[in-house]
């Protein structure tokens, strides 16, 4: 196989041709920055023009209104603002009333904190009903849990000494019911055998 040799000038020319081919149609960094700035300027100018046109339209509409219509429009805007303020105050009041309901029911903040916003409504009666229902659910769940725990831990046998004879006498054994004797036999068979034999 014959090896080609290039002179330095030929190699430089070949590289330049390859670079020109590869970068054909691409922007130089300076051209790209100019194009980018031009597009940004165009969009900013367009946004400004839209904002100015919108404001001009609003002013034109207000100029076309009579003094009475303009006053009526301003009153409606103020009334809307006052309604929003009233609604916010009502919700804050309802929130405080709900917290008070929880406090009176003995429900801790940890039990209602995540749900409070869902329970608050602009209508005080609706809020009170939602909070009462939630309190009932928490109280009911707490009662069921306490009952379950009482049942579970009431079946724990009383501690006895290693021999079992010090805590339980023959007289106490004889007074035990049949079910208590069966329980003793199942839980402490060695102690049971000492009284049966």
DSSP state of 164: S
Confidence (pLDDT) at 79: 93
Q: What is the CA radius of gyration of the chain?
A: 44
H or E element: which one contains 81?
A: helix 67-104
What does the pLDDT read at residue 115? Answer: 85
Q: For residue range 101-159, what is the model confidence (pLDDT) as tens digits?
A: 888 988 888 888 888 888 888 888 999 999 999 999 989 998 999 888 888 777 655 55
pLDDT band for position 165 (cuts 50, 70, 90): very low
DSSP, collapsed to helix, strand or coil, labels residue 175 as helix
Measured between its terminal Cα atoms, the distance across the chain in Å is: 111
- Please report the beta strands in the chain, taking only residues with DSSP state E, as ranges in sequence order: none
Model confidence over 22-58: pLDDT tens digits? 777 777 788 888 888 888 889 888 889 998 899 888 8
Per-residue model confidence (pLDDT) at position 156: 57
Return mean pLDDT, the chain. 84
What size, in residues, is the chain? 197
Which pLDDT tens digit goes with each residue over 62-107? 777 777 777 888 899 999 999 999 888 888 898 899 999 888 988 8
pTM assigned to the model: 0.42
Dist CA 182 CA 196 (whole Å): 12
| Residue pair 157/187 in contact by the 8 Å Cβ criterion | yes
Q: Quick check: 122 and 87 in contact, CB under 8 A?
A: yes
The first and second tokens of residue 93, run together, are 């009041």
Instruction: Please tell me the distance from the alpha carbon of residue 40 to that of residue 33, in angstroms, as a whole number.
Output: 10
> Can you give the pLDDT at residue 159?
52
């Amino acid at each position: 196989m014959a090896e080609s040799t290039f002179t330095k000038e030929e190699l430089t020319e070949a590289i330049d041709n390859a670079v020109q081919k590869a970068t054909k149609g691409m922007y130089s960094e300076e051209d790209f920055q100019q194009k980018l700035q031009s597009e940004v300027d165009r969009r900013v100018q367009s946004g400004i023009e839209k904002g100015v046109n919108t404001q001009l339209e609003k002013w034109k509409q207000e100029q076309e209104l009579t003094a009475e219509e303009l006053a009526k429009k301003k009153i409606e805007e103020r009334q809307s603002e006052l309604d929003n303020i009233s609604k916010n105050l009502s919700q804050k009041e309802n929130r405080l009333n709900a917290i008070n309901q929880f406090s009176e029911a003995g429900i801790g903040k940890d039990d209602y904190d995540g749900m409070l916003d869902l329970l608050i409504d602009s209508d005080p009666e609706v809020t009170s009903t939602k909070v009462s229902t939630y309190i009932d659910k928490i109280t009911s769940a707490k009662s069921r849990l306490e009952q379950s725990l009482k049942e579970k831990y009431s079946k724990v046998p009383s501690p006895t000494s290693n021999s079992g004879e010090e805590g339980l006498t023959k007289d106490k054994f004889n007074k035990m019911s049949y079910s208590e004797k069966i329980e003793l036999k199942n839980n402490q068979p060695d102690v049971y055998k000492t009284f049966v034999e």
